[in-house]
Structure 1
Amino acid sequence: MRREATILKSFNEKRKMEIRRKELHSEFEEIKVSLVKEHDVICDSLLVEENDAEEKLTENQRQISDHLFVLQNLLNEVTEKCFQGDLDVLTGIENIYNTCENLKAPAVCSHEFKKSFRLPPHYFGFQRMMSTFQEDLTLDPETAHPSLTISRDRKSVIFSRMHPGFIDNPHSLSFYPAVRSCEGFDAGRHFWHVEVRGTGALSLGVCEESFPRDGLRSPTPRMGCWEIRQFCGSCSTWNTEVQQIGVFLDYELGQVSFYNLKTRSHVYTFTDKFTEKLMPYFSVDPSSQAVTISIVIDQ
């Protein structure tokens, strides 16, 4: 029986490796297709720019050639005056002088190549990352700080004053005004989209399932919490009224990445070694004025 169990375990491990190998092959094929498409788009854009630059260079050459022609004629006229008498020189010199005074340098056209070409983030683009790895998260009221109010659909959280009749929950985060999601991840890749409205400070990220609720440990990577702190409103570094934030977790790679989805730009990435289940983590600063964090599902 033990030998059969060992053989079965070995078979299952080989099967998992084969499935993983096929998944990696599929992903690399998609990356290749994405890169080919990006290459074609960039080449087409460069061709348009190249034609535009050539037209401007041709126009520059024409204008410079015309200007040289005018200068050569003036030089010939001045040379001829050198061999004429005083009266002939005086009668024609005014026209030459006025022509020189009114002569303008050719208007040379300039061209500046665009620098907007870049490969898609993570080589497979935001859209694929959102559609392939998106998670439908729900906030867990059992873990919510007493000063946080969770919406009925458990998709939004806002800071509010603690209710007088509040009964302490052994699972709630009692020190930091934070809440976790019901879902946790101990493998794979996962993405969630967060929308933030209001003015103030907030924190987003993941924390270990064993991260204590009493606040005796600070929410830092060393203590099992990987979060970024952001400010929204008039002084926001995101520079927009409604923040669109993407969080991407790659458990095996040991990375938690944050993106500004409005500008499709990378904000920050934590790199570490994860050893236990990670829970999406949301926190609203007590000083915030009606900051609402909402989980968004992209269609």
Structure 2
Amino acid sequence: MYYFIVNPNSRRGRGESIWKKLEETLRTYGVDYQVFLTEKPGDARGFARTLTEGCRDSTIIVAVGGDGTVNEVLDGLCFCGSVTLGYVPAGSGNDLARSLKLPKNPVKCLKKILHPEHYKILDYGVLTYGEDEVFHRRFAVSAGIGMDGAVCHSLLNFKAKSRFLKLSAGKFTYLFAGVIQLIKAKPSKGYILLNGVRKVEFNHAYFISAHIHPYEGGGFKFAPDADSEDGQLSICIMNTRKKGNLIQVLLSALFGRKSLNKGARFYTCREALIHVEQPMAVHVDGESCFCQTDVQLRCIGKRLHMIV
């Protein structure tokens, strides 16, 4: 039995049309399946929890949607039994699919899931935030605080986004939103504590991102050295007095190169604690975690079993 968790509204309704094609293929092959269609944020998380909570049997869950859909599914999984995750990308960013080199054609992607030849056991991350009430959010691709979080927040209500998506310009949607947030961005003082022992202070941090996979924002390679199977987070800190230096960082990430800008610092660690003096936007896989001053991040190594 295959369980499909589908976001029909991903990429302004593209998820629904993709699911119809997938369903035709499933019926043609006579596959035993059950589908759960999301209607609002949080549904995918709830479906994943219902399917796996207390379950000791082997379960195959296939997410159909964008990185946000995968994020919710991952966040809802209970690893009681053997859980295998499949993914058919149908979003605007699809950074996880890009990193895993999944087929762009959804039917080809489905066929790889139905007739798997390769699996990977991947890391995932956990972000913790909150004071009066503490929240834990898993992430499959990346999490961040600062300008990249602000970009993700703005895209949730970005009215022009649908026009870009119709042109298949997901990366440039993020670039356009990034330019807007670059103009608005203000740096903050603070520090990051790596593995509980190494403290790195900064005075002009615009963003700090933590990566399981190299990409975020629809193909921006902020962490070229990130390895999803090494049990480590790849950290990128953009700390500079000159806001103009951010342009070089964005362009380097856009073209998949590691920034040589002096303001860009890179670290690897199993866990990190970040403190900023001014509240800054936080995201996990592009999903909002509001504005925070303190967050904790850690890598859970070799836990997520995926069909690739």
Higher RCO, 1 or 2 (CA under 8 Å, sep at least 6)? 2
Specify the TM-score bucket, using the shorter chain as the normaliser: under 0.3
In terms of Rg, which structure is larger? 1
More strand by share: 2
Give the TM-score, by structure 1 length.
0.23
Give the TM-score, by structure 2 length.
0.22
